[in-house]
Amino acid sequence: MRRRDFVKGILAASASARALAAQQVAPAAPLTPPAAPHTLPPATPVAAGPTPWMQGLMEVKPLELSTLVPDAVAQTDAHFFNPQQTATLERLCALLMPALKGYPGALEAGAPEFLDFLIGVSPRDRKQMYQTGLDWLDEESRHKFLVVFAKTTDLQADALIRPWLRPWMTDHPPTERRARFINLVHTDIRTATTNSQAWSEVAQAAGRTSAGLDLYWYPVDPDIHRATRAQMQSQGQGQPALGQVGRDQNAPRKRGI
């Protein structure tokens, strides 16, 4: 309370100062009638000045407004993958994570569009892994079945995918190039799907009320120079390759400390 009064005082002082400054350019105040004898002189008229910009914010209550995430009503403008790569990715999504048991599949969850965005802002090595992997899959399909991967039957697609599937442990995806691509893209598609709002809504309706909820940390007293610094340092500086970056709700939380 004491702090609030102090801040109010600061704001008031600031307002007075601005009002004084404003007097120099403000229109002249209307003439006042002559004061009657034996009465106190009238208060000095205050010229109209700009309203202090932060006025009233100390008392305002948080706005009770139910907000949306963009995915609830909007589509992602996908532009990273070329049309052929996009078609291949969409086919992979339909194959690897179809709608099941009332839960949306990857296509319904918008996974292809989200991954187009995510990979498009990812480090170079991850972009390359996706682009070369999708191109390779398409070429394999043309070579073996004379159709683009997007047009494969489930049987044909399975013949291309299954030889590369591996069981693996967190942080240790397969190291062979093809297997690495297939297994990482599979995990990414699953994560993009199970972390979607569409998935969450079905989980909520099924009574899994805490599904996907966790404690999010905002930046704590962030460095005011951080953005500039990071921008400078990232220019021309690639990031090391990583095995995986997604948060899989089914995976155990990593430990270490």
Partner 1 sequence: MAEETVDVLIIGSGHSGGMAAKILTEKGISSLMLNAGPVADVHKDTEVKPVYALPFRGFKNPGILPHVFQSDEFNANTWVDEKENPYTYDPQHPYNWVRVRLFGGRSLFWSRQSFRLSDYELKGKSHDGYGDDWPIALADLAPYYSRVEAIFRVSGHADGLPQYPDGNFVPDDSPWSGCMQRFVAAGKGMGVPVCKPRSSLGVDGLASSVNLLLPDAVATGKLRAIPNVVVRELSVDKNTGLVNEAHFVDRLSRREMSVKARVVVLAAGTLESTRLLLNSKLANSSGVMGHYLIDQIYGAGIACSVPEARDGKGAPDLMGGGGLVPRFRNIDTKAKDFIRGYALNLYSNPHGMDPRHFAAYGEELQTKLDSYHGSGFSAGIMGEVLARYENHVSIDKTVVDAWDIPALHVETKYTDNEFNMARDAVDTAVAMAEAAGFEVLTKNYDPNPPGYSIHELGTCRMGDDPKTSVLNKWNQSHDIKNLFVVDGSAFVSGGWQNPTMTILSLAMRSSEYLAEQMRQGNV
Site of interaction with partner 1 (CB under 8 A): 69, 71, 95-98, 100-101, 114, 118, 121-123, 126, 161, 165-172, 183, 186-188, 190-192, 195-197, 199-200, 212-221, 223-226, 229-230, 233-234, 239-240, 242, 245-252, 254-257
CB of 125 to partner 1, least distance (A): 10
For residue 108 the two structure tokens come to: 């319904």
- Smaller CB distance to partner 1: residue 2 or 225? 225
Specify the length of the chain in residues. 257
CB of 76 to partner 1, least distance (A): 11
Q: How far is CA 169 from CA 73, 184, 244, in A?
A: 36, 12, 11
Q: How far is CA 102 from CA 12, 99, 191, in A?
A: 59, 7, 17
For residue 26 the two structure tokens come to: 């403000």
CB of 119 to partner 1, least distance (A): 8
- Smaller CB distance to partner 1: residue 144 or 208? 208
- Smaller CB distance to partner 1: residue 38 or 255? 255
CB of 36 to partner 1, least distance (A): 57
CB of 226 to partner 1, least distance (A): 6
- Smaller CB distance to partner 1: residue 52 or 98? 98
SS3 string, 1-64, reads CHHHHHHHHHHHHHHHHHHHHHHCCCCCCCCCCCCCCCCCCCCCCCCCCCCCCCCCCCCCCCCC
- Smaller CB distance to partner 1: residue 52 or 246? 246
For residue 236 the two structure tokens come to: 């021309």
CB of 5 to partner 1, least distance (A): 22
Contact (Cβ atoms closer than 8 angstroms) between residue 149 and residue 115: no
- Smaller CB distance to partner 1: residue 1 or 169? 169
Element (H, E) at 189: helix 177-194
Residue 168 burial by Cβ neighbours in a 10 Å radius (0-12, 13-18, 19+): middle
CB of 188 to partner 1, least distance (A): 8
- Smaller CB distance to partner 1: residue 60 or 69? 69
